[in-house]
Amino acid sequence: MTETDDRPVPGTAGYREEADALAEQYEAVSFAQVHREVLHLLPSAPARVLDLGAGTGRDAAALAALGHRVTAVEPVAELRAHGARLHPAAGIRWVDDALPGLARLAAEAERYDLVMLTAVWMHLAPAERAAAMLTVAGLLAPGGCLVLTLRHGPVPAGRRMFEVPGAEVVAQAAAAGLRLVHRGERGDLHGRGAVRWTELGLVRTDG
């Protein structure tokens, strides 16, 4: 999923048009609120951190403030612009790239101690997800951790989302050399009663 040559990423449908409202929504809750059940999985600073689908950079800025070196990947230019405006002093490195291929990141051959995938995976079609997991696993350093959240519930008008079973993610992660170390369920922090979230923590066990 990249916006190369001005071709929009299918999974970002609706995000460009609603970027202003989404920026307010994202920033209305904190990194600590969203990720409180997985904070114990964060590596000690300084670490190399990758935030995939970073949105406005809320999480990336919080991780940078903890002393990490953060790369934020966001394919929607309007959301990247909000991120630069809202978090100008965070020292975030912004990259225009997207799943399932992450061609720009793959070319850099960097490996990360932590990869965040918050509210992203549901945008990938079933046929894309196994390859995307291999891509993400390849970006983790040995012992590195992937923190992934899955959205469940009705799809907003104009968006492209799929229901993703947690068991599928765990199985694809295992095939890519990742071991499940955390699984949790929570409600929606924005008060949407029909929406719930699954949180997964996965660690790379191979070299």
Domain ranges (residues) in the chain = 4-204
**Residue scoring higher pLDDT (168 or 192):** 168
Least Cα distance to 149 among 126, 172, 116 occurs for 116
Beta bridge partners of 116: 51, 147
The pLDDT of residue 3 is above 90:
no
pLDDT grade, residue 5 (50/70/90)?
Answer: very low
pLDDT digits (tens, 9 = 90+) for 97-143: 989 999 999 999 899 999 999 999 999 999 999 999 999 999 999 99
The pLDDT, as a whole number, for residue 166 is 96
Look at the alpha carbons of 120, 121, 127, 133 in this order and tell me if their dihedral is positive or negative: positive
* Summary count for the chain: helices (H), strands (E): 7, 7
- Among 97, 103, 45, 87, smallest CA distance to 69 is for 45
Architecture of domain 4-204: 3-Layer(aba) Sandwich (3.40)
In the predicted model, what is the mean pLDDT of the chain? Answer: 93
Q: Record the pTM.
A: 0.92
Nearest by Cα to 74 from 113, 159, 114, 16: 16
Per-residue pLDDT, 11: 77
Q: Is the pLDDT of residue 2 over 90?
A: no
Kindly indicate the confidence band of residue 207, based on its pLDDT and cuts at 50, 70 and 90: low
Q: Which residues of 148-176 are buried (b: 16+ CB within 10 A; e: fewer)?
A: bbbbbeeeeeeebbeebebeebbebbeeb
Model pLDDT for residues 67-86, shown as the tens digit of each residue: 999 999 999 999 999 999 99
